[in-house]
Amino acid sequence: MLELALMDPEAFDVKEARAVFEDIGISVSGSLGLTPSTDVSSEDELIVAKGEAVLRKAVQLVAELGGTDLCGELYSALAKYPSASTEKGRGNAVAALRRLADYADGFGVSLSLEILNRYETNLVNTAEQGLKFLDDVGRPNVKLHLDTYHMNIEESSMAGAVLATGDRLGYVHVGESNRGYLGSGNIDFASFLRALMTIGYAGPIVFESFSTAVVGPNLSNVLGVWRNLWEESDDLASHAYSYITTAIRSAEQATRKWV
């Protein structure tokens, strides 16, 4: 599976892209992070409406590309907020996601809300907070999206967060603590993957990494990508694939039931 960042929906030809993906036999998902001017957790109804329009467009794009998953920061802006979230803003995000979930359901698209660290959202920073948020949204096609990079910053236990999320986990990012090559940082992928196997997770596991060599200046600035940890995308991707498939096989063996 290839995840497309849909920050700029007009950036590519959808029909041509779908033809290429079908030709090489790869499935596609979409991801998104809202901005301060499209933040559905804003107290400003006009900004919320702009955010909902962006999200509906992203749902359409995912469906047009033949995908069924839209993930990422769909509930607030990808930004370091200057203050805590408010009840009104949270309520706006919950209401917007209920409407988006019903809209997405018509396209056969599921939404997975990515739990991010404190520097990239003020609304939900842990799986526990995310589950409460899901309860409030109350739609079966809205699940959680966990990312090891963010979990490493916020969770007391990465495995514990996965086990608590259980069948409400819809999407996974594997990223290193430094967002570079898998295995080059602090993340304990073995215990994380064993927890995924324990809950019987069968959804996408997508590698995510950033470098100013390939990421545009806007996103680099928002994410704080100030150092280049790699320059060769192909080498990075093939290494990630072999690293994670081997680690998944080990986790499968570790959690295998013999009786």
Catalytically active residues are 114, 208
Stretch that binds Mn ion, among 17-25, 35-43, 139-147, 199-207 (CB under 5 A): 139-147
Whole-number minimum distance, CB 206 to Mn ion, in Å?
Answer: 8
CA 208 – CA 28 distance, rounded (Å): 14
Nearest CB to Mn ion, comparing residues 143 and 173: 173
Stretch that binds Mn ion, among 56-64, 185-193, 203-211, 227-235 (CB under 5 A): 203-211
CA 102 – CA 93 distance, rounded (Å): 14
The separation between CA 127 and the C-alpha centre of its own chain, rounded to angstroms, equals 13
Cα angle for residues 24, 25, 27 (degrees, 5° grid): 120
CA 51 – CA 47 distance, rounded (Å): 6
As given in the structure block, the two tokens for residue 89 are 């803003």
E strand or H helix at 2: strand 2-5
* Phi and psi angles of residue 158, each rounded to the nearest 5 degrees, phi first: -65, -45
Whole-number minimum distance, CB 253 to Mn ion, in Å?
Answer: 27
The residue count for binding Mn ion (CB under 5 A) is 3
CA 73 – CA 32 distance, rounded (Å): 6
Nearest CB to Mn ion, comparing residues 3 and 52: 3
Nearest CB to Mn ion, comparing residues 90 and 173: 173
Nearest CB to Mn ion, comparing residues 95 and 237: 237
Whole-number minimum distance, CB 192 to Mn ion, in Å?
Answer: 14
Nearest CB to Mn ion, comparing residues 69 and 147: 147
Residue 208 touches Mn ion, criterion: CB under 5 A: yes
Residue 73 touches Mn ion, criterion: CB under 5 A: no
CA 120 – CA 34 distance, rounded (Å): 11
Whole-number minimum distance, CB 172 to Mn ion, in Å?
Answer: 9
Total number of residues shown for the chain: 259
* Phi and psi angles of residue 118, each rounded to the nearest 5 degrees, phi first: -60, -20
Considering only residues 167 to 186 of the shown chain, the ones binding Mn ion according to CB under 5 A are 173
Contact pick of 52, 69, 120, 147 for Mn ion (by CB under 5 A):
147
DSSP codes of every residue in 109-135: -EEEEEP--TTT-SS--SHHHHHHHHH
Please enumerate in sequence order all residues whose Cβ is within 8 A of that of 210, keeping only pairs 6 or more positions apart, or say none.
179, 219, 220, 223, 225
Nearest CB to Mn ion, comparing residues 178 and 255: 178
Whole-number minimum distance, CB 78 to Mn ion, in Å?
Answer: 10
Stretch that binds Mn ion, among 94-102, 125-133, 183-191, 205-213 (CB under 5 A): 205-213
Whole-number minimum distance, CB 175 to Mn ion, in Å?
Answer: 6
As given in the structure block, the two tokens for residue 129 are 């907070």
| Residues near Mn ion (CB under 5 A) | 147, 173, 208
